[in-house]
Structure 1
């Protein structure tokens, strides 16, 4: 291999890390609306390397839509958005994405290792890389998330927690600088919730990867989140969990009285109008109906 090709390959394998002082994500005066429906407006937000930002809010508040904007799949209605120093665009290997858990309804021959391999090659044009280095990287990722024992099991036979662990491995395949997680804990039991959150947290601490973690409940990530971005009724509030998850802050967002109750190490939000009379939920946001995605 020539020196030029060797240098190029090294650059692809190990992208240059950003200045810790520079934000990985930056929004200025950003708004998103569908006609007269405003999801959020005038958002100023910087997310820096190694930061864990939890995004909370009821259904339809624009949580998933925010990730779509950062992925370049949707344009903001107003304002500016930069990701890794440039306008968002599809296909960046420096962004990892962990989707909501959804049960597979049709049989597939894809195995766990095949899904991880797609994380290496899915953002590239052309055939997959049939190299020893790529095979080694897949094995390394499978071991990292504890998926080696079921590496050759078809995806349809994996439990929800096992599948989410494999999806985390897929998202980390290209050594991303930004990890976007869209309700990855949905429908998982407590043990697998803890496994997935621990994997994500370990990644951001060891590699300085910024994490934006959409969730309808803050309790599974309460000890991990540096800040919370709470979306509700076209408004938003950003700050440390102890500042945002308060009765005063959420009442201001919702425009009506909301109680935030702390029970031991858990947070319960009571009286948010989106929940309906007498309903309460933990950590912010009505759980999606039938396990479906929220906006």
Structure 2
């Protein structure tokens, strides 16, 4: 069972109105061998829009993120990011991953990870050290991570590490934020902190947000539209139109009930409820990435 609070919306009417889309998909499809994950996807995302991407395990949510990053080619259709091929727009995209094993990053300081967001993609001479140091300090302060700037990532809590990863994503002043389940394994306090940082960025800079999540609760009040990926296809629209019994029952091909109880929306009966593990799985192999 998944429950979500009643949304407070009002930003959809003006968010990105009259602006060219920063992301555009037309007739897009993605397959792994003979298995089609999603197809016939038409979608525009405009500046300042907050798009939540929902769906069961294996529905292609993270595959969509990889396609937007230029790491996974489409099987059909077209995809443009800022009117160019995704890889050509990479420097304008900030990427916030889900919690992952630290491994090689464990000994890096928080400020080191943010610095990689500034010059980690550069070849040859980079910015002057003083300018980079100032920018790193500005970003760390903006995400509330200054107090542990020189602490190794392996010694930080999950919420603290996600603040630093947001800093890394914001370091180059991105026009698009791709968030691939960044709230996984975080408690409610840190979920609110992370979503607050993401929302503050999109409101202050008109940054488009694509937010992949299993749990809509922490972001529903912020969402302009939902892209719901499911075995029976997909649906795009405002949450109040997509998260309904009729809509989800059609997508799953079985009865799904969406009810409102004490001001909350409760979704009951999705086929993946009993079997799905609590974390995201890789659509290709059925294991966590």
Q: TM-score range by the shorter chain?
A: 0.7 to 0.9
How big is the shift at 1:98?
A: 0.2
Structure 2 match to 1:191: 189
Partner-residue secondary structure (3-state), 1:92: helix
| CA distance, structure 1, for counterparts of residue 200 and residue 18 of structure 2 | 18
Q: CA separation in 2, counterparts of 1:158 and 1:127? A: 31
Aligned to 1:40: 38
Q: Are residues 1:225 and 2:238 paired? A: no
The alignment covers a number of residue pairs equal to 268
Matches within 5 A, 1:1-295: 21-89=19-87, 92-105=90-103, 108-126=106-124, 128-233=126-231, 235-276=233-274, 286=276, 288-289=277-278, 291-295=279-283
| Gap regions ≥5 residues in structure 2 | 1-15, 284-289
In 1, the alpha carbon distance for the partners of 2:241 and 2:53 equals 14
Q: Is the 8 A contact 1:39 1:234 kept in 2?
A: no
SS at match of 1:202: helix
Deviation digits for residues 100-129 of structure 1, max 9, x if unmatched? 112425673310010000000122223553
User: Taking structure 2 as the reference length, what is the TM-score of the superposition?
Assistant: 0.88
Distance 1:262 1:106, change over 3 A: farther
Secondary structure of the residue that 1:191 maps to in structure 2? helix
CA distance in structure 2 between the partners assigned to 1:265 and 1:132 by the alignment: 52
Deviation (angstroms), 1:86: 0.5
Deviations 1:57-102 (Å, cap 9, x if unpaired)? 0000000000100110011110000001101116721000000112
Runs of 4+ in 1 over 6 A off after TM superposition: none
SS at match of 2:164: helix
Preserved CA contact (<8 Å) 2:227 2:234: yes
Deviation at 1:140, TM superposition (A): 0.6
